[in-house]
A = this chain, B = another copy of it.
Amino acid sequence: MTDPLKTGATIGILGGGQLGRMLSVAASRLGFKTHIFEPGANPPAADVAHAVTTASYDDEAALRAFAATVDVITYEFENIPTSALDLLDPLRPIRPGRRALAVSQDRLIEKAFLTDLGLQTAPFAAVDDEVDLAEAIEEIGTPAILKTRRFGYDGKGQSRLKSADDAQQALTDMAEAPALYEGFIDFTHEVSVIGTRSLDGQVSCFDPGENVHRDGILHTTTVPARLTASQRMDAVLLTAKILNALKYVGTMGVELFVTPTGLIVNEIAPRVHNSGHWTQNGCAVDQFEQHIRAVAGWPLGDGKRHSDVVMENLIGDDMDRVPDLAQEPNTALHLYGKAKVKPGRKMGHINRIKA
């Protein structure tokens, strides 16, 4: 058992995007410093970090120097190269651990892990070639979606099949990457649970939020979500089951489809999650702080919701709305300080407090 980190300790964060930025702010509230490791120059997290290393994930000297200045290592995205983790692992604790990353970095392993736990997922099959795809279409049917097993996010690396006629196009879209064929789910809406597990196994989940996507990117999360009491209980229990099975340490996002026959797990993200941003203005302790508490070996905080919130992402040109949004009643702005506006780029979000 490790002692909890003390005021002044440094938390190393792999990745310097907006999640790293908000993790850094949460760390500061608990008296910790952060050190960001990020290949890109001037990342959003650098504005609020104690130290920043700008280096590639295959720069071994930079990784070693980074590890030497931090007490524990965490990350803000799941696609960290394995070689970097191999190098860092013996030097400092990595939280959440390698198992959570291994599971979530590969959609096939993730689906197998979830079904082994007894949880419902969409029907799926591994697709490495034309033959696999034909078999998957035969078995699971269409419409369906073909996804790369690794490195996909926000709808990237995905191809939809309306019918078997789309098979060749879908294979081309995968560019020979190992893929996963997923049947469609007839769901009424999507919710997500943001859960955290501490180093000593304590689990705490925020109230589930209801997600609406636009163009494959999260548009809004509304709390409370439309769920019956028993669905709400199911959602929290299955999240706890996933966290415990992985001996997870930190905050995780679990996306769920709500169907007449129960909750179906869409995917898990081993990190703080966009659909948990509402917690910044709805709870005394938000998802970022829960994550920092967990990786620092602290007890979890009280994630009880004190207000209803609607979170809305600001994507690309939504930044033009900021002067108006800044004057909306009961609305909290969270901008990421990104210099360039690009279509589809997450530039910030707002939390509208409803009650």
A residues at B contact (CB < 8 Å): 4, 7-8, 21, 24-25, 28-34, 46-50, 281, 284-285, 293, 298-299, 301-302, 304, 306-307, 319, 323, 326-339, 348, 351, 353
- When distances are taken between beta carbons in the complex, the residues of chain B under 8 Å from A333 are 29-30, 301
Q: From residue A227, how far is it (CB to closest CB) to chain B in Å? A: 23
**CB contact under 8 A between A284 and B351, given known A47-B50, A48-B24, A301-B326:** yes
B7 touches A28 (CB 8 A): no
- When distances are taken between beta carbons in the complex, the residues of chain B under 8 Å from A281 are 284
The answer for the CA separation of A201 and B199 in the assembled complex, in Å, is 51
A21 touches B30 (CB 8 A): no
A304 touches B284 (CB 8 A): no
Q: From residue A165, how far is it (CB to closest CB) to chain B in Å? A: 46
The answer for the CA separation of A285 and B32 in the assembled complex, in Å, is 24
| Known A7-B339, A31-B336; 15 more pairs at CB < 8 Å | A7-B335, A28-B48, A29-B335, A33-B47, A48-B49, A48-B50, A284-B351, A284-B353, A285-B332, A293-B326, A299-B327, A301-B332, A302-B329, A306-B307, A306-B353
The answer for the CA separation of A124 and B50 in the assembled complex, in Å, is 46
A7 touches B50 (CB 8 A): no
The answer for the CA separation of A208 and B348 in the assembled complex, in Å, is 31
B323 touches A4 (CB 8 A): yes
Q: From residue A69, how far is it (CB to closest CB) to chain B in Å? A: 14
A299 touches B326 (CB 8 A): yes
Lowest 7 CB-CB distances: which A-B pairs, in order?
A31-B335, A31-B337, A284-B332, A48-B48, A302-B329, A47-B50, A28-B48
The answer for the CA separation of A33 and B48 in the assembled complex, in Å, is 8
Q: From residue A171, how far is it (CB to closest CB) to chain B in Å? A: 42
Q: From residue A11, how far is it (CB to closest CB) to chain B in Å? A: 11
- Residue ID in chain B nearest A350 by CB atoms: B284
A33 touches B306 (CB 8 A): no
B304 touches A329 (CB 8 A): yes
- Residue ID in chain B nearest A332 by CB atoms: B284
A28 touches B21 (CB 8 A): yes
**CB contact under 8 A between A326 and B304, given known A47-B50, A339-B8:** no
- When distances are taken between beta carbons in the complex, the residues of chain B under 8 Å from A298 are 326
- Residue ID in chain B nearest A327 by CB atoms: B299
The answer for the CA separation of A334 and B327 in the assembled complex, in Å, is 27
What are 30 contact pairs spanning A and B, CB under 8 A? A4-B323, A7-B319, A7-B337, A7-B338, A8-B337, A21-B28, A24-B48, A25-B48, A28-B48, A29-B332, A29-B335, A30-B333, A31-B335, A31-B337, A31-B348, A33-B47, A34-B47, A46-B50, A47-B50, A48-B48, A48-B49, A284-B353, A299-B326, A301-B326, A301-B327, A301-B331, A302-B329, A306-B307, A306-B330, A306-B353
B331 touches A302 (CB 8 A): yes
Q: From residue A225, how far is it (CB to closest CB) to chain B in Å? A: 20
